[in-house]
Amino acid sequence: MSEKEKKVRELSAEEVLQKFDKQSDKRELTGVWGKIISAICILFALFQLYTATFGVLDAHLQRAIHLAFGFLLIFLLYPSRHSWSRSKMHPFDAFLALLSAGTAMYLVVNYQELVLRAGMNTETDFIVGLIGTIMVFEAARRVVGWPMIIVAFCFMLYAFLGPYVPGILAHRGVGVQEMFDHLFFTTEGIFGTPMGVSSTFIYLFILFGAYLETTGLGKFFIDIANAIAGWAAGGPAKVAVLSSGLMGTVSGSSVGNVAGTGAFTIPMMKKLGYRPAFAGAVEAAASTGGQLMPPVMGAAAFLMAEFVGVPYFDVVKAAVIPAMLYYIGVWLGVHYEAKKFGLKGTPRDQLPKFKTLFLEKGHLAIPLIVIVYLLVSGYTPMRAALAAIVLTIVCACLRKSTRIGFKQIVQGLVDGSKGVLGVLIACATAGIIIGVVTKTGVGLKIATALLDLAGGNLLPAMFFTMITSLILGMGVPTTANYVITSTIAAPALVQMNVPVLAAHMFAFYFGIVADVTPPVALAAYAGAGIAGANPMRTGVIAAKLAIAAFIVPYIFVLAPELLMINATPFTICYSAFTAIVGMWGASMAMIGFCNNLLNIPQRILFLVGGICMIIPGVFTDGIGVALVAVAYVWQRMNKVKGAIQQDGEDL
């Protein structure tokens, strides 16, 4: 690849990030302002590392300082208007940075007095809380975008207009001062559980990810994927699936993953012969799956453990088989698309050698392996992340080619602080939603309304929960996505005696898959931007490739053994095996190809049979095997018949 081609790809990825990922559209400052921002980032990182090492502060103090740093950086880095310069600081943004940070530090300075007053807030408290909440909205607008702002604002209106809301959703209403005092001066609003997790676990894992990126692990993943699968049928597409899955273990953004790996894989797919829309869709589906992939799951795994009240390891364990099924489904879809159009892989002599790569850069993956081991062994996420950060730096220094110096270590602190801003402000905004829910009880009311709409039946309730999660998840970052869907959609399933973890995982899956579901499919649109394809068509194809994400959640609610809930090793292995075979059938039905093109009846047989095999149970597995076998034999007979006819024509 020439230097010119590399620059074009890098520019394309950067443009895509700025267009579809608000968090990437920030100022790049030099001079005095650049040094000031770097200093704030370093202080932010040192505060987080200090409290992680020697113990976190009282909840409100820890979270308020965390938000104060976030406010400063957001208003300094993200311009108020899209037309404002990205290379100069605007005085208005500098003023808002100080004002917003001041509202958070008001809690720190007056902490003892606020505790002694025990909720008896003054007029000054109310004004600070009002300004602080407005600053959260404004910061979220700059970093996260409008979708989440609209959701949070609608909840605020609901709190104030409760007596005028008709039907089951009506409530007595909340006063203005009562509402803002609740949101800003309790741990049930802006400084609630999401902010608590952001100020502890999430920051450290994002800092860990920043150091992994500094050491070149992302490029290593792409090279390893090329060595493993680049030579196979449709090789570059399989490289996209594999590398995006590996990147997803530490990535916190579907769009960021698309831009990071897609800049390399999408042009490779197009060069091989894949349609531009399909190339963009493969990367979008694979990158979105990264948010479902343990151990980080876009930072939502830590929140899920807190919300559900189970050990973090239980969340990771539950997510393994569904994530595996998702990627198998995407991989098979790519494989049969390649077979359908006769697309071959890259010649082996043009690919990196696995053994050479492993010997030269395999040590970069040690921290990732160690952090998984520590989490499984019962270490807290904070301790595991701290150890992994130190180990990342140490491992990078094992070889001269990957060694990082003091300057890069400091830059890692800066990158980590900048990288957390999107999650931080999304958690603060999600806290507003949670605050309204706890104050009005709207979560229970919506759950009751969904159950009434479903007539008390589980399958319709799951369908309505799916639609709700898809709508709520549109254009919302992963962490906030989970907070919203788990607060609003999941309670309906919990009321129907679905295991709490299964209900939360169900809502989370459909919130995430909104990134590849038209009309608001940000990951698919990002892939289309790099591929130069039609965005809507790319979204439709991505949704087809992500078929597992639309099927598997229904299955693990009906049969929680797929989440390893109350399951034996035998039932887990058996359910996983039959589900994989079922995904094979469903993938062929989606692509419309087996040995040759499938007709409509054959596709229906493969799809229904595949779904039956994904559903755990001897009876459904038997039906699934029979249907898939009939479809496969029928397809083979068509192929033989076509070959005989071709031989006759040749004679």
**Does residue 293 surpass a pLDDT of 50?**
yes
Report yes or no: 37 and 73 within 8 Å, Cβ to Cβ: yes
**Does residue 651 surpass a pLDDT of 60?**
no
Which one, of 221, 244, 180, 252, lies nearest residue 21 by Cα?
Answer: 252
Report yes or no: 524 and 469 within 8 Å, Cβ to Cβ: no
The reported pLDDT for the residue numbered 14 is 63
CA distances from 282 to 23, 208, 348, 602, 644 (A): 23, 27, 22, 24, 36
CA 651 to CA 647: how far, in whole Å?
Answer: 6
Of the pLDDT bands very low, low, confident and very high (cuts 50, 70, 90), residue 569 is confident
Q: Across residues 547-567, what is the average pLDDT?
A: 85
CA 546 to CA 523: how far, in whole Å?
Answer: 12
CA distances from 207 to 75, 515, 570 (A): 21, 25, 39
CA 359 to CA 352: how far, in whole Å?
Answer: 12
**Does residue 85 surpass a pLDDT of 50?**
yes
The per-residue pLDDT for range 185-235, each reduced to its tens digit, is: 999 899 998 899 899 888 998 898 888 888 888 788 888 888 888 888 777
Longest dimension (CA), the chain: 98
Going by C-beta distance under 8 Å and a sequence separation of 6 or more, which residues neighbour residue 63? Answer: 187, 191, 195, 196, 199
CA distances from 120 to 117, 173, 178 (A): 5, 20, 11
Of the pLDDT bands very low, low, confident and very high (cuts 50, 70, 90), residue 157 is very high
Q: Across residues 438-455, what is the average pLDDT?
A: 85
Going by C-beta distance under 8 Å and a sequence separation of 6 or more, which residues neighbour residue 392? Answer: 208, 211, 212, 215, 367
CA 136 to CA 152: how far, in whole Å?
Answer: 11
Which one, of 523, 524, 520, lies nearest residue 539 by Cα?
Answer: 524
The reported pLDDT for the residue numbered 2 is 47
443-474 exposure pattern, b = at least 16 Cβ within 10 A, e = fewer: bebbbebbbeebeeebeebbebbbebbbbbbb
The reported pLDDT for the residue numbered 30 is 85
Determine what percent of the chain is predicted with pLDDT higher than 90: 28
Q: Which residues face 593 on adjacent strands?
A: 597
The reported pLDDT for the residue numbered 362 is 86
The per-residue pLDDT for range 1-46, each reduced to its tens digit, is: 444 444 444 445 666 666 666 666 788 888 899 999 999 999 999 9
Report yes or no: 276 and 284 within 8 Å, Cβ to Cβ: no
Determine what percent of the chain is predicted with pLDDT higher than 70: 93
The reported pLDDT for the residue numbered 642 is 52
Q: Across residues 587-613, what is the average pLDDT?
A: 86
Of the pLDDT bands very low, low, confident and very high (cuts 50, 70, 90), residue 108 is very high
**Does residue 333 surpass a pLDDT of 80?**
yes
CA 194 to CA 203: how far, in whole Å?
Answer: 12
Report yes or no: 523 and 258 within 8 Å, Cβ to Cβ: yes
| Cα of 398 vs its chain's centroid, Å | 32
The reported pLDDT for the residue numbered 527 is 87
The per-residue pLDDT for range 493-524, each reduced to its tens digit, is: 998 889 999 999 999 999 888 888 887 778 88
Of the pLDDT bands very low, low, confident and very high (cuts 50, 70, 90), residue 646 is very low
The DSSP letter of residue 505 is H
The reported pLDDT for the residue numbered 136 is 97
The reported pLDDT for the residue numbered 24 is 67
Question: With 0-12 CB in 10 A as exposed, 13-18 as middle and 19+ as buried, what is 196?
Answer: buried
Segment (H or E) for 134: helix 123-143
CB atoms within 10 A of CB 602: 20
Is-cis flag, bond preceding 499, omega within 30? no
CB atoms within 10 A of CB 646: 10
CA 224 to CA 39: how far, in whole Å?
Answer: 36
